[in-house]
Amino acid sequence: MIYTLPPLPYASDALEPRISKETIEYHYGKHLQTYIDNLNNLIAGTPYEEMQIETLIMTTSGPIFNNAAQVWNHVFYFNSLSPVQVSMPLELKDYLIRDFGSVENFKEMFKKAAAGVFGSGWAWLAQDAEGKLVIIQESNAGNPMRNGFKPLLTIDVWEHAYYIDYRNRRAEYIDRCWELINWDKVVKRMHSDLPSAVTDVETVMVTETSRDGLTEAIAEAIIEDEKDMRKYVCVTCGWVYDPVEGDPENGVPPGTPFSELPEDWTCPACGVGKEYFEPEK
Ligand code: MN
């Protein structure tokens, strides 16, 4: 599996003024991209390449865990935000009142937890195996699914998430970020079955259904099945089609696999059709 940067569900300036375009360009465009690149490099040619990202998070440690979890966490975070203010659904309010006494209490506790993460990390709203809502602080790349919780919402409190816009004022960033939370999404995540199965690593590794529930972040996200990026050679003249370069002069953008070339595409050197090409050996 090769991970690629998932599309951001809004324009890079859509969260302004709360989160600037510049922050998004660095945070999403550079930091997340780096975690993705690192993960790809770390798993290339290893059995980890065949595993789902949640399995990596549940079963690895060290650099693979760090980068896999950072990829997952960031996708989840960016997908938790909305440029349009979303009011909190009644259903969620009921659960928050049940588990935190009041919505206001929850808000205060969550913000306190986020502000209080020592160093770099994440604040989470998650659900335990019985469905109770809990607030969890995680350091560095931590993800509550490791302890059997189902993630519902996260705020990134690494400095790179706010330093450009808020400098060292983390609490102010959290307040503004709060106004961007997509509460509909939180409810949707509550209803997707899963990661309570995450308490049992075996289950996560073997069942497709648990995966479906678990991976909203992934489904929304990331991952492209490995494309056929082999070079193809024209058997008539020896010209080589390289998918990395494409054939821009003939309207084929870089990154186009041979199989996705238009049917009427022809060899730029000798003019024969696609059927005269073979994978490079
Ligand atoms: Mn981050």
In this predicted structure, the answer to whether residue 166 has a pLDDT above a threshold of 80 is yes
Please give the helix or strand (H or E) that residue 278 lies within, else none.
strand 277-279
Q: What does the pLDDT look like over 216-268, one tens digit per residue? A: 444 444 333 345 788 999 998 999 999 989 999 999 988 888 988 998 999 99
CA distances from 252 to 8, 126, 237, 256, 278 (A): 24, 45, 20, 7, 18
Residues 227 and 167: their CA atoms lie apart, in Å, by 41
Mean pLDDT of the chain: 87
More confident residue, 170 or 254: 170
> How far is ligand 1, taken at its centre, from the CA of residue 8, in Å?
14
Give pLDDT, residue 193: 63
In this predicted structure, the answer to whether residue 151 has a pLDDT above a threshold of 50 is yes
> How far is ligand 1, taken at its centre, from the CA of residue 260, in Å?
34
CA distances from 151 to 4, 8, 160 (A): 22, 20, 22
Q: What does the pLDDT look like over 6-56, one tens digit per residue? A: 888 899 999 999 999 999 999 999 999 999 999 999 999 999 998 989 999
> How far is ligand 1, taken at its centre, from the CA of residue 138, in Å?
13
In this predicted structure, the answer to whether residue 78 has a pLDDT above a threshold of 70 is yes
The torsion angles phi and psi of 260, rounded to 5 degrees, stand at: -95, 5
Nearby residues for ligand 1 (ion, Cβ within 5 Å): 156, 158, 161
Indicate yes or no: pTM above 0.75.
no
Residues 4 and 75: their CA atoms lie apart, in Å, by 11
Give pLDDT, residue 209: 30
> CA geometry: angle at 137 spanning 122 and 58, to 5°?
75
Answer whether 255's CB lies under 8 Å from 244's CB. Answer: yes
